[in-house]
Structure 1
């Protein structure tokens, strides 16, 4: 099946919520999670689409998380499971992608998209914002458990992109490392030190995540009385 961008979404950080809400999840918070569709060509730069920013730049965004992708095929499943009419962009993604999901996209894949060239850098690590956006306390955990996480892109060559653009696979340097397999390494308990080490050594993996993984397996092999990380995804939001 041909891969293509089904839709493009962007947002700038702004406040959402109601100061008088009874539930904490309904109270004011500042986020760029509420993505809105873009019509026509949009410029894709090295760290952002034009009109898109992150509300928490300490943990989100940057060169290895310039674009968040989510599989269009997940939406009908979520709609049925949750009984909610979730729109594209509902999981905070910039590109809603047809013809691909976590089981068919590999770390390091290089794509031609419109005028741009991009590379898959890491799985998306689900954070609490997914749950708060939809007022469902267990939703972030369900995203992680189902491995319907999405994935990030780094930008190798800037250019304009537009909804409907075909995505052409140019290179696949790590065919054994699907996004799904990488997520399995991150979230399966107990962790396999060998698998963690193998994922950390994938050359195209985002350096920030690779560093966290390297610290994990180093500590896993340390004497038992030394402090350890909680897990390989600690600090890698």
Structure 2
């Protein structure tokens, strides 16, 4: 596994950050931090990226969700589905990176990107802001159907990431629970077993948000 991973070439396609902005969708105003601007470098702190903020801290941000990554390959898929290219940073990500799809990374994996050391904490829980950002009312459903959500990192070591920074995998988590497997269990399994849910909950590095979601799912399942 380690030898295979060393053969994978991961590359930063672009970096982005931004402050919350007022936007309009279908004639209605909303405010969000999803519209980010491409930059040459990011300074990643333990709590947030410098110059990068969320509009609604109840549902976004926090130490488990400091850095958002979106796999670059998905953009070609969306272009083929919708017949036109999405704008850069269409999903409000900070890192757009090749060869880092949701089925290629596990909760708890640790990467060094530039000076920063980051740990995969959770897949992204997609919301309707994705539709609003891209003026596409079909996008959210497609993201959920495909599991092309992107994912978040917590920060283990602060530091600078530049557009030319190398990406090195430092730790492959031994429990091997992929981001895509968590998404599939919650969104697509009709009757997930307690054992399958518990397997994910056993990953101590799982973010608090997803831990709550899966604990609630387990309780509902037990009541049936």
Q: Is 2:138 the partner of 1:138?
A: yes
Q: How does 1:26-37 map to 2 (within 5 A)?
A: 26-37=27-38
Task: Structure 1: state its 5+ residue gaps.
Answer: 18-23, 225-237
Q: Measured at CA, do residues 88 and 25 of structure 1 come closer, stay the same or move farther in structure 2, by a change above 3 Å?
A: same
Task: Structure 2: state its 5+ residue gaps.
Answer: 1-7
| Aligned mates of 1:170, 1:186 — CA distance in 2 | 28
* Aligned equivalent of 1:5: 12
Q: How many residues align?
A: 216
Q: CA deviation at 1:217?
A: 0.8
SS at match of 1:80: helix
Runs of 4+ in 1 over 3 A off after TM superposition: none
| Aligned mates of 1:79, 1:220 — CA distance in 2 | 38
Q: How does 1:122-161 map to 2 (within 5 A)?
A: 122-161=122-161
Relative to its length, the structure with more helix (as a share) is 2
The Cα RMSD (Å) is 1.5
* Aligned equivalent of 2:65: 65
Q: How does 1:53-132 map to 2 (within 5 A)?
A: 53-132=53-132
Q: CA deviation at 1:175?
A: 5.0
> Given that residues 47 and 66 in structure 2 are in contact (C-alpha distance below 8 angstroms), is that contact kept between their aligned partners in structure 1?
yes
Q: CA deviation at 1:95?
A: 0.5
SS at match of 1:76: helix
Select between 63-72 and 187-196 the one with higher mean Cα deviation: 187-196
> Given that residues 107 and 178 in structure 2 are in contact (C-alpha distance below 8 angstroms), is that contact kept between their aligned partners in structure 1?
yes
SS at match of 1:3: coil
Q: Cα deviations across residues 188-213 of structure 1 (Å, max 9, x unaligned)?
A: 13131321222122111102311231
Q: CA deviation at 1:122?
A: 0.7
> Given that residues 2 and 166 in structure 1 are in contact (C-alpha distance below 8 angstroms), is that contact kept between their aligned partners in structure 2?
no
Q: Cα deviations across residues 115-162 of structure 1 (Å, max 9, x unaligned)?
A: 110000011111010011112212111101011110100000100111
Q: Measured at CA, do residues 164 and 192 of structure 1 come closer, stay the same or move farther in structure 2, by a change above 3 Å?
A: same
* Aligned equivalent of 2:3: none
